[in-house]
Chains A and B, each alone.
Chain A
Amino acid sequence: MEALRLDGNAAAGLLSEVFAGEVTTAVGTCDSCGAVEAVGAIHVYMAAGTVLRCPHCEAVVMKVVTDGERIWMDLRGLRTLELAS
């Protein structure tokens, strides 16, 4: 049991600052294990920044940090992200 775990949906507000369209139904591929999941089904942890982790292998797929004026995104753990155009 992970008391601090949230769902991808919880990061929807933050991600809406970056992506124009609906991002929680976008589908990401985990670079570590190859699992394919909607962003809404990915695990979220809120720390100094927001960390999205693969629900299958817990590898980091996205790190997002904002200072209110800039947003930094580390997407190394995400092989692809498929969004509706």
Chain B
Amino acid sequence: MEGAAVLGRLNWHVAEVADVWPETDRVKTLALDVEGWPGHRAGQHVDVRLTADDGYQAQRSYSIASPDGGPRVELTVERIDDGEVSPYLTGDAHAGDRFELRGPVGGYFVWDPDPGGPVLLVGGGSGVVPLMAMVRQRTANHDEVPTKLLYSARSWEDVIYRDELGRYGKRGDGLEVVFTLTREQPPDWTGFGRRVDRELLSQVAPPDLSLTLVCGPTPFVEAVAEALVGLGHEPSRIKTERFGPTGG
């Protein structure tokens, strides 16, 4: 087992659930105490490994929702009904429960405080999670880069971090939050009410955009990236983080 010890050397940490709170009907945030956490960059993720009492294991990736420097590492997880790991994390896990984490990893899809021009963040569903870490990091650091967050959710009830995002948009610090609700809009809704497409992006994306970060279910990310390229944005200035298969 010497080999296993060497392979595992840097990466796996024990995480203990310190607190859990609901964000929406289907989404919860888990605040974790992680032994030996080295700090992270906003946008990075961890691999979560769950082990059953008979040794069965399952592993999935989750983005870190909290900015660096906070007391705890927060993950925000959407429940996939027939899923294996997300129903456990959003249903069974309580304060005191423990599992393993590998990370932080993924330095490619991270907040860049100085990309040379405005930044557009485009999130679909739980794809807002790493983008929220970036928004929080930007605020904590008082970064000045003009930033727009375009967030697509099914309905207002499905918007994660609703209250916090509402506050961010009103601070006059160069951060703007734009919502589109694809299935159901409140009666007095003045935001967008359809899927993110080329026309919507042409209205939202600043012309002198220097970096776009797109995150969400794979079909969402592919559609947004394609539309951006279609609008003439340079592919090398579009970074994507696909969360995997889903219809949402």
Contacts and interface: CB of A to CB of B under 8 A. Distances in A.
Interface in A22-61: 22, 24-25, 38-41
Nearest to A71: B7
Contact of A24 (B61, B107, B218, B219): B107
Given A2-B218, A13-B102, A39 B11 contact: no
A6 B245 CA distance: 9
A75 interface: no
Interface residues of B, number: 27
A80 interface: no
Interface residues of A, number: 26
A69 to B, nearest CB: 5
B176 interface: no
Interface string B174-215: 000000000000000000000000000000000000000000
Interface of A: 1-10, 12-13, 16-17, 20, 22, 24-25, 38-41, 68-71
6 tightest Cβ-Cβ pairs between the two chains A and B: A40-B108, A24-B108, A12-B105, A13-B47, A22-B107, A9-B106
Interface of B: 1, 3-4, 7, 10-11, 45-47, 61, 102-103, 105-109, 218-219, 222-223, 239-242, 244-245
Given A12-B106, A12-B107, A16-B102, 5 more contacts: A9-B106, A9-B108, A12-B105, A17-B11, A41-B239
